Amino acid sequence: MSDSGPSLYERLGGYDAISAVANNLLPRLMADSALGRFWEHRGADGLDREKQLLVDFLCHHSGGPMYYTGRDMLLAHRGMKINDSDWECFMGHVNDTLAHFGLALSETGDVIAFIESTRSDIVET
């Protein structure tokens, strides 16, 4: 713990809690009629790899001990034609997932702020 208190990673419950969030969020996104197109024609191995990269990314950027080895968000999402409507739909699922786990308002705000900070690298205008 640092002088400023526990990291977001610690406040979220660590690796297992972040992994549980990814396990809840990804099926929501894939089943969504507007967002499912981003996972069409993906094999199980590719989906498993994507989920692990998501967990590593979230753990690393929330102050955890994981090292993220994936591409940056701009490169990873370039050419996917993700628009503002897609982003808003995605964020709705993020909020629903966080609510499902009963995440405290403070941590919810920190998670949402972090995810929103990636928007400009993901949404193509």
Please write the tens of the pLDDT for every residue from 90-113: 999 999 999 999 999 999 999 999
Please write the tens of the pLDDT for every residue from 31-60: 999 999 999 999 999 999 999 999 999 999
How far is Cα of residue 87 from the mean position of the Cα atoms in its chain? 12
CATH architecture of 12-122: Orthogonal Bundle (1.10)
Contact (CB, 8 A) for 21 and 61: no
Span 73-93, average pLDDT = 97
Give the global pTM: 0.91
* Closest listed residue to residue 22, CA positions, set 125, 111, 105, 121: 111
